[in-house]
Structure 1
Amino acid sequence: MSLATISPQKAKDLIAKGAVLVDIREADEHARERIPGAHHHALSRLNGSVGTSGNAVIFHCRSGQRTAGNAQRLASAVACDAYILEGGIDAWKKAGLPVAQDKSQPLEMMRQVQIAAGSLVVLGALLGTFVNPWFYALSAFVGAGLIFAGATGFCGMARLLALAPWNRKPAAPAKA
């Protein structure tokens, strides 16, 4: 079963009529930025049904890709009309609709991994060029780690970054 997509404005209108907005992003993403009033049910922890009291449910992620790719799973989690917010929270913001941000929360883990991996690759390339060719191995090691993470779903860098001091505080969002 495929879920219909709706525009941010149509979603806003449905929410005003009692529809429930459900954010399927991970807790760290939701803690940093969210649509006020959205319920949080991370896709990775979605087991069974999404308990809502609305007459319709609108699912959203950051860009709409995650919700579209999991439409069948999301549709089976509700017993009412369900939709996907076209373009996710990015489109919601672009439409000028309100979002709550908590900049005190750390960057999303995947962004931290991207920054760290990219930095290590550039560092390895620079050191390999200007210091010693053996430093190219650093770039190769990071690339191999990314391939391993993509193939297995285990990201050692994310596990390591989770231990960093800025990630140790709970990612509980402020009330919006």
Structure 2
Amino acid sequence: MNEPLSLDADQARERLAELTVVDVRTPGEYASGHVPGALNVPLDRLGRAVPELREAAARGGLLVVCQSGGRSADACARLAAHGVAAIDLAGGTSGWAARGHGLDRPVGAPAKPVWAMDRQVRLVAGSLVLLGLALGLLVHPAFQLLSAGVAGGLVFSALTDTCGMALMLGKLPYNRAAKNGGPTLDATLARLRQEA
């Protein structure tokens, strides 16, 4: 029987015991609440985890999760390029929580949740556009190039389905594991190897 390409929250919940769940959000987002039993392998570090994820997929299935489904679909495509079969959680953790299913948080995670990465990107991009426009009006028209650069970056991001700004924001301290009580990638990879 062929595995489905995606599962909705209810289907995934029924199969949770047989699947290895991998959350590809930043450690800060993961610490804000994740599908029970999910292991954190941030999307920007996915390549490093391919051997362990291949073994997990062979053992019983690999369910990939993000906030709303975009990054997990990208992760599934990247894994498929390496010959690793993975299932996407349609709707991500947002869809999971909307169906009334509980989310876990690591012990020691801060009480204030980290914003989802797409929200962080929208804030920074919008702020840079407004800054460029304001400085262009108040200081010198050349500052409007900042707004044009951000607009060009957003178009490039849409055309390539990548986001350089998200990669940069993911490296900030509040998005990293040590600041959020979550496991490091090395600890996650060790756990995946132990479950083999």
What is the TM-score with the length of structure 2 in the denominator?
Answer: 0.62
| Correspondent of 1:141 among 138, 143, 146 | 146
Cα offset, 1:4, TM superposition? 1.7
Alpha-carbon distance change, 43 to 168 in structure 1, aligned in 2, over 3 angstroms: closer
Paired AA for residue 125 in structure 1:
L
Alpha-carbon distance change, 116 to 43 in structure 1, aligned in 2, over 3 angstroms: closer
Identity percentage of aligned residues: 26
| Aligned residues of 2:66 and 2:93 also touching (Cα < 8 A) | yes
Distance, in Å, in 2 between the alignment partners of 1:168 and 1:5 is 28
| Correspondent of 1:77 among 71, 84, 89 | 84
Distance, in Å, in 2 between the alignment partners of 1:2 and 1:144 is 42
| Aligned residues of 1:25 and 1:61 also touching (Cα < 8 A) | yes
Distance, in Å, in 2 between the alignment partners of 1:44 and 1:68 is 14
**Structure index of larger Rg:** 1
Cα offset, 1:146, TM superposition? 5.5
Where does residue 97 of structure 1 map in the other structure?
Answer: 101
Where has structure 1 moved over 4 Å in runs of 4 or more? Answer: 126-129, 148-155, 166-169
Distance, in Å, in 1 between the alignment partners of 2:3 and 2:19 is 19
Distance, in Å, in 1 between the alignment partners of 2:43 and 2:15 is 22
Aligned residues: 165
| Aligned residues of 1:11 and 1:85 also touching (Cα < 8 A) | yes
The runs of 5 or more residues in structure 1 that have no matched partner are none
Higher helix share: 2
Aligned-pair Cα RMSD in Å? 3.8
Alpha-carbon distance change, 28 to 139 in structure 1, aligned in 2, over 3 angstroms: farther
Where does residue 107 of structure 1 map in the other structure?
Answer: 115
SS at match of 1:37: coil
Paired AA for residue 77 in structure 1:
V
The runs of 5 or more residues in structure 2 that have no matched partner are 184-196
Where does residue 67 of structure 1 map in the other structure?
Answer: 72
